[in-house]
Structure formats: structure tokens, C-alpha cells
Structure 1
């Protein structure tokens, strides 16, 4: 069929494309008018039902598309929030690991002989035999005036 159309145009030597398009439009419109005139009221009702059915189907597709879009958006939002929470948890884990290392270092320092001796001298005011303990009084605000 396509070949016959192209042969027809070649044989006519169509030069004005706009005119040819307009003729085709008029021919289609005339065919549509004839078909509508021939339609009985029953066929017109069927055509109306088809149009209504088509519109209903389009509406259903639109609703399904909107529901799917909403699901995708909410899922993406949930994924983003979970990734943010995961990053926060990683940061907190790093801080806790640093604190753990610091506390373990402090524990090893507390267990040393030097630390025990230092704390005994400062807090308990202990001295070795043969040492003399000197306690200096702190000047109070009353004595400074």
C-alpha cells in the first residue's frame, strides 16, 4: 500500500506539499463525516461507551502510576534517612573506640608504681621513712587584705 501511494505521488509530480497535506486532511475529514452519518444510534452509544471505557482505563493507569511514584519517593526517603543514621552510628562508634583506647591507657597508667606513689603522697599525705613532710598554708582572702 505504501508503494502505491509513493507511485501515485511520483506520477503526479506533487510539488506543493502543503496543498497535498491539506487535501489528505480534507479527505480524512470527509470519510469521518460519512462514517458518523452512517452510524446508527446504537453504534453511537457503543462509540460513547468505548470512549468512556478508554477514559476510565487512562484514569486507572494514572492512579497506578501515581501510587508507584509515591512508593518510590517514600522508599528513597527511607533509604536516605537510614544511610544518615548509619553514618551517625559509625561516627559514634569511632568516638567510643577512641574513648575506650584512652581509658585502657589510663588503666595501664593507674596500675603503675609511679602513679600509686604519686597519689599516696598527694591525697593521703604519706611519706617514706626518713622524709619530712612540709605543709604550706594557703593564704586566704582575709590575710591578703
Structure 2
């Protein structure tokens, strides 16, 4: 399977061409699928371009990408930097109005099991991120940055 993440926890300031809006994510998804992508994880962003788990931006991003590339599984992040505290992240997952096919859970983050339980309760698949501790590879930044 070729999985292509459309963006990351990065900001537009770090990468000028980073897809942030649903429209930009849609264009990137079409290009990725045309190049052979079979699964698309992404990081929905808020109005300031930061990762978010809020229901409205998640719904907008997932709906736009799903419409652009029907039949391709779509996933989102649940990174701790997007919302402080595992209970808050789990509450946001429970508030999602449009469900992704899967969501990533970084197992080294506090409350990963709690967030995973919320995803499973909603019928959302889990993609587990495992931090290897490899030198030169730091875990993602914690919120707030």
C-alpha cells in the first residue's frame, strides 16, 4: 500500500506550499492518488493553520478529500500537540460529525490508550505511531509550541 500524508504538523511558515485549506488538501489528494496513493492521512488545520481536532475543520477536510478521491481511505492525526490533554482529545474525537476511516495515535504520548478507546467507540480505525528513539529523530513538538 502506498500511503501519502498530504501535510504534517508543520506550518505554512515552515513550508510555503503546505496544503492547509480543504481546497488545497483536495488538490494535493488528487495529485497523490494520480501518483498511486492508496491511503491518505492528513492533519486538519484551524483558521490559523495549526493542527486541530475540532469537529468543523475535521469535517471540512475529510469531506473535501473524500469527495475529491472517492474510495480512497482518509485518515487524520490525533497528535498531542493539536489539543492539550488526552481527555480533551478524546472528547473532540467523540464530537466529530464526519468520521475519517482511520486516525493516527502516537503511542508514546500520554493518554494514547484513552484516545484510542474513543476512536474505537466511534468505529474509527487506528494507525499507531511508534517513536523509535532513534538518534536524530525527536518526537513531534508538544502543544503549545
Report the TM range for the smaller structure's normalisation: under 0.3
More helix by share: 1
Q: TM-score, normalised by structure 1?
A: 0.16
Q: Which has the higher contact order (CA 8 A, sep 6+)?
A: 2
